[in-house]
Amino acid sequence: MIFYNRISPWRLYNFTSWFWRDHRKITVIDSQIAYTGSLGIKSYMSGWRDTHVRITGRVVDQIQDAFEQMWHAAKIDKKFFRFKKRHYSANEFNFLINSPYERNRFIRRAFITAIKSAREYIYLTTPYFVPDLGFFRELIRAAKRNVDVRLLLPGLSDHKILDVASASYIGLSLRAGIRVFKYRTDRFMHAKTAIVDNIWSTIGSVNLDNLSFRYSYEGNIVSFNAAFNQELKEQFLADLAQGQEITAFDWSKRPLFDKIYEMLTWPIHDFF
């Protein structure tokens, strides 16, 4: 067992390095089978709503390679590790990574490319929605060209401050034509999935927030397989049926203090 980037009190002078975490959820068995998605292995997470996949084929090599590079980084205690450059291949399934090194933010770039190409729908599930403005702007542009953009958020998450920060985007989303849904409050929605036009989908560890896109080591499966994408779409719609849509009218009626708290989170969104 190896731990990556242990938190040390004497690193207070460089506290942002604490954000450089290995957030991936990867299991590789005999180089033949891999599991990945949003599932964390902790007892208190057992009742959470997660989406995880079992996968075989050539993509397992990509997942194992990413694991081995991360293992090497942890073993030499290197806090800011630059991964080998990765590109899409001709496979129906590929494993992409994100890291604090800007040139290695492949998952974010894949998201942006897919959103820009969307013509029918974009379905997003995320437990935390605090995206950078560039990402959010592309979602707004998609909605304005009549793409059906739907965002599924948890009714309540495990971090109150992140609920408030996420809420600060809801009014802007509704005004732009993005439909926002809240999942049931008795079960934390922790899945991280996206489906675009039944052509492209992704599932993995990436949250739609700055911590994932800018600071963490993340890993996602990206799929061009129509059957897989359809199954993920059906699961999204089933989850949506257990949630409630937020209307602009209802949102405008929330308490004044909630609006103030949301506004106060904007200066620190880069750290969420």
Q: Determine the Cα–Cα distance for residues 101 and 105; give it in Å rounded to an integer.
A: 7
User: Catalytic one among 197, 209, 233, 239?
Assistant: 197
Q: Order of strands across the sheet with 26-29?
A: 26-29, 33-37, 52-56
Sign of the CA dihedral 163, 165, 171, 172? negative
User: Catalytic one among 22, 25, 209, 233?
Assistant: 25
Check if 65 is active-site.
no
Check if 159 is active-site.
no
User: Catalytic one among 30, 85, 87, 186?
Assistant: 30
User: Catalytic one among 72, 77, 84, 190?
Assistant: 190
* HSE value, Cβ hemisphere, 13 Å, CA-based, for 61: 5
User: Catalytic one among 192, 209, 233, 239?
Assistant: 192
Check if 197 is active-site.
yes
Check if 87 is active-site.
no
Check if 190 is active-site.
yes
Q: Catalytic residues, which ones?
A: 23, 25, 30, 190, 192, 197
